[in-house]
Each structure stands twice: as structure tokens, then as C-alpha cells.
Amino acid sequence: MIEKREKAKSRTSTHKENKYSLFSLAKNAVSKHKNWSQAWRSPELKPEYDIVVIGAGGHGLATAYYLAKEHGSKNIAVIDKGWLGGGNTGRNTTIIRSNYMWDESAGIYEHSLKLWETLSHELNFNTMFSQRGVLTLAHTEHELKEMTRRVEAIRLNGIDSEVLSPRAIKQIVPIIDINPQLRYPVMGGFIQRRGGTARHDAVAWGYARAADQLGVDIIQNCEVTGFNIKKGAITGVKTVKGEIKANKVGCVVAGHAGVVAEMAGFRLPIDSRPLQALVSEPIKPILDTVIMSNSVHMYVSQSDKGELVLGAGADSYNSYSQRGSLNIIEGMLAAAVELFPVFSRLRMLRSWGGIVDTCPDASPIISKTPVKNLYFNCGWGTGGFKATPGSGHVFADLIAKDEPNSIAAPFSLDRFVGGYLIDEHGAAGVAH
């Protein structure tokens, strides 16, 4: 009886909240959002901060949030040359998974996936995290054997992963063509059921609002143009809005890590290339899993709006232009239509590109640098969105303690000197 009453009470309060939020939406629409409160402040840049984080993508904002929340750091700024979330965070296709081969990668990506599982609650912001499963297809005997080995390695790290037969795949994805006569027949695949997607902007906005509430200054349109370095240690940052003194600086500038490192006088083992994606017109729900095929360089999921979100491999040349080559998406669409004949009459709405920084071993850098108190977090290549919470979490720890924790340590720059590479080319979602 009590339970019934509690349920009825909570139904009434949800109903009331909905009524009020609908009323508030309508009121703000009529007043042209004049009284709409801002989700974060737009403070003036101060001349001095304890910690400056360069890059207001998801990783930079998460770093600032965990610095303030877990390390009690005060007087932090996050600065960005554009608008927050306008880099790869706002351009990616939002696939989240932790099914990597090596123990070091399992450490960082699974740490991140666990943080995703409670992130909306942590930030009090709906990140629209959806564990709809990520299914990767195999098109040759060799690929299937390699996948089976990979699944065993993933499971040894306690991460969920299963090999699937073509029939099992067809049950999960009824629109896929598993005809063995196809040019690239579906021979099987593997799935991580805890994998999925989230709303990219919401992650940046959620971290931004939560960091702002903890006193972090977020400064947009503030490009970094150089560093002040004395006796091998960082003392400040030069920006288009003036110089800032800083005790510590963290750089999280995906796509431009090499450019910013050069400003500090060292080089990074990084390649920067365009990676593009595209969306179709919205249609009724037809696909409730993420499908990836590394051999045909095609992946697809359906957004909550109904658009199909498709992506391809990276361009094969280095560039900083945020657009990709047409032949890459032409090839990808041909593969998509072969696997999903029902897509053939679908119209594409738009395509775009981002710049991905990739290391020779396709693993990221989370590290101290040759300049004391200057730290870099970069090289996530085509796959850093999934790592946003975990990357921010361990990078904050590194900046606060000036020592990497056990999750971050394998990703230090030293590995390119010592040779302890973490080769994850096979786990990358797309060719690069």
C-alpha cells in the first residue's frame, strides 16, 4: 500500500516537473530567451592562474572539472581558440567502447567506460549515454580468426566481448545482408554489449557547466600563440588576449598538438590528418546497434533524431583543413549500400571533417614533457571521444601530482624512446 502511494506521489511530481519545464520552455521561447540563465559564465581572462588548460574540448573540460573536484585545485582557466566543444568533440561520431587488445589500453578505456556509466548522474546533465552495443564485422577467414583471438584477450581483462555468427548478427541487425556471395561477405563479428554512443555536445556542455560551478574560468576565442619558459620550466602562456602567468599548463589540443608543442620547443611523434563523417536525412528507427567494419572502412549508427551517422577512414595525407576527400566517402557509401541495401535510396544531409592526431602505435600520449610543469594529452587519433571522462580524470591526476598514475604511466612520451609501444592499430575503429 505504502509502495503504491509512493509510486503515485512520484508520478505526480514527475508530471508537475514536466508541466513546469514545458511552461518554462514556452515562456522562454516567447521572450526570445531574454531571461534564460546561462549554463556557464563568460568571465574576463585574469592575468594569472595556478593551472591553465589549453583546449576546451571534452578532454580539456573534463581535466579542469576533475582538477577542481578531486584535487581541490583553485584558480583554473580553460582557454580555447574557438568555441567550447567546437573541435573534434563536436565533430565525432560518438562511438564508445573499451574492447582494446593490450592491458594498458584496457586500463584507460575501461576506466573511461565505467565513468561513462555514471556520468549523467555525476554531472547532473543528460549525456544521452546509450549502451546499445558495438558490433564489428569480419569479412574474411583471417579477420574472423584474428577477432577470436582479440575477444579472448579482451575477456582476459574482464571486459565483455563475444564472437557472433552471421545468423546471430542477422538477428540483432535484421536489415544487414549476410548473403555469402557479397564482395565482402559477413563471416561473423564480435560485439561489446556495454559499448554504445552518447551525445557529443552534451558531454562538453555537462563538463563545462560542472567545472564552471566549481569556479573554473572558461575563456573562449582565446588562441594560444606561444609559451613563456624560464630555466626549462613553464611560467606562462601567450594568447591573442594577452599573456597569462601560470604555474602549470596542460595541453589538450587534439588536431593541433604538434603545432602547440612546437611553440614550446619540442616535437611530438604525431601525424595530423582529416577524418570525416556524414549524416543522412532522418528516418524511422531501423538500427539500434552500432555497426563497424574495419575492412570496408564503414561504420554506422542511428541517432535519436533518426539520422544515420556514417563514417569512413582518415585521408591518407597530412592536412589541417577540416574537410576530407570525396573518394573516401564514395568508397564507404558503396560498402554501406552493399551491406545494407535498404540504404540505397537514402539522401545524405551533410558531411564534415575533423583533424585527428595519431601516434605511430595508434595509442595516445598522456605525459610530462621536456618542459617542467607543461603536460600534454593528445594523439587519441580517431578514437578519443570514448576516452573523454577517463582521459580527463587521469590527466588531472598527472597535473596535480606531477606524476602519472598507473593507468596513465604506459602512455608517457618515454615509450617512444624506450620502445614500449602499445600497438592498437587493429583496435582502431577506422583505418588511419
Of residues 92 and 412, the one with the C-beta less far from ligand FAD: 92
- Nearest Cα neighbor of 58 from 368, 372, 431, 390 is 390
For ligand FAD, the binding residue among 82, 269, 331, 426 (CB under 6 A) is: 82
Q: What x/- string results for residues 310 through 339 when contact with ligand PYC is judged by CB under 6 A?
A: -x----------------------------
Q: What x/- string results for residues 385 through 424 when contact with ligand PYC is judged by CB under 6 A?
A: ----------------------------------------
Q: What x/- string results for residues 296 through 325 when contact with ligand FAD is judged by CB under 6 A?
A: ---------------x--------------
Written as nine digits, the cell of 191 is 560485439
- Alpha-carbon distance of 165 to 170, in angstroms, equals 9
Of residues 110 and 397, the one with the C-beta less far from ligand PYC: 110
Geometric angle at alpha carbon 328, from 327 and 331, rounded to 5° = 80
Written as nine digits, the cell of 179 is 548473403
Helix 388-401 vs helix 200-213: angle between axes, to the nearest 10 degrees? Answer: 30
Considering only the stretches 5-13, 92-100, 139-147, 261-269, report the one whose residues sit in contact with ligand PYC under the rule CB under 6 A: 92-100
For ligand FAD, the binding residue among 138, 253, 308, 374 (CB under 6 A) is: 253
Amino acid 422 reads I
Asked if 299 interacts with ligand PYC (CB under 6 A), we say yes
- Alpha-carbon distance of 285 to 303, in angstroms, equals 9
- Nearest Cα neighbor of 377 from 417, 407, 419 is 407
Of residues 63 and 276, the one with the C-beta less far from ligand PYC: 276
Q: Report the nearest approach of ligand PYC to the CB of residue 256 (Å).
A: 19
Q: What one-character-per-residue DSSP string does 210-223 give?
A: HHHHTT-EEE-S--
Indicate which of ligand FAD, ligand PYC, none lies near residue 252 (CB less than 5 to 8 Å, by partner kind): ligand FAD
SS3 (DSSP) at 305: coil
Asked if 98 interacts with ligand PYC (CB under 6 A), we say no
Asked if 100 interacts with ligand PYC (CB under 6 A), we say no
Pairing of strands 242-251, 48-54: parallel
Tell which phi-psi region holds residue 291, choosing left (phi > 0), alpha (psi between -120 and 50) or beta: beta
**Where does 31-118 have alpha helices with state H?**
58-70, 103-116
Beta strands in 31-126 (DSSP E): 48-54, 76-79, 95-96
Asked if 60 interacts with ligand FAD (CB under 6 A), we say yes
For ligand PYC, the binding residue among 63, 89, 93, 412 (CB under 6 A) is: 93
Cβ distance 251 to 356 under 8 Å? no
Asked if 277 interacts with ligand FAD (CB under 6 A), we say yes
> Which residues lie across from 95 on neighbouring strands?
197
Binders of ligand FAD among residues 204 to 243 (CB under 6 A) are: 223-224
Q: What x/- string results for residues 205 through 234 when contact with ligand PYC is judged by CB under 6 A?
A: ------------------------------
For ligand PYC, the binding residue among 77, 84, 95, 336 (CB under 6 A) is: 95
Asked if 383 interacts with ligand FAD (CB under 6 A), we say yes
Q: Report the nearest approach of ligand FAD to the CB of residue 237 (Å).
A: 9
What is the Rg, in whole angstroms, of the alpha carbon atoms belonging to the chain? Answer: 23
Asked if 88 interacts with ligand FAD (CB under 6 A), we say yes
> Which residues lie across from 251 on neighbouring strands?
54, 376
Written as nine digits, the cell of 324 is 576530407
CA separation, residue 273 to residues 223, 323, 356, 379 (Å):
21, 10, 5, 11
The number of beta carbons lying within 10 Å of the beta carbon of residue 74 is 13
What's the full length of the chain, in residues? 432
For ligand FAD, the binding residue among 166, 188, 196, 384 (CB under 6 A) is: 384
Of residues 54 and 119, the one with the C-beta less far from ligand FAD: 54
Asked if 382 interacts with ligand PYC (CB under 6 A), we say yes
Considering only the stretches 2-10, 51-59, 67-75, 163-171, report the one whose residues sit in contact with ligand FAD under the rule CB under 6 A: 51-59
Considering only the stretches 76-84, 154-162, 163-171, 338-346, report the one whose residues sit in contact with ligand FAD under the rule CB under 6 A: 76-84
Of residues 49 and 100, the one with the C-beta less far from ligand PYC: 100
Written as nine digits, the cell of 162 is 563475444
Written as nine digits, the cell of 275 is 577524418
Binding site for ligand PYC (CB under 6 A): 93, 95, 97, 299, 311, 382-383, 429-430
Binding site for ligand FAD (CB under 6 A): 54-60, 79-82, 86-89, 91-95, 223-224, 252-256, 260, 275-277, 311, 354, 356, 380, 382-386
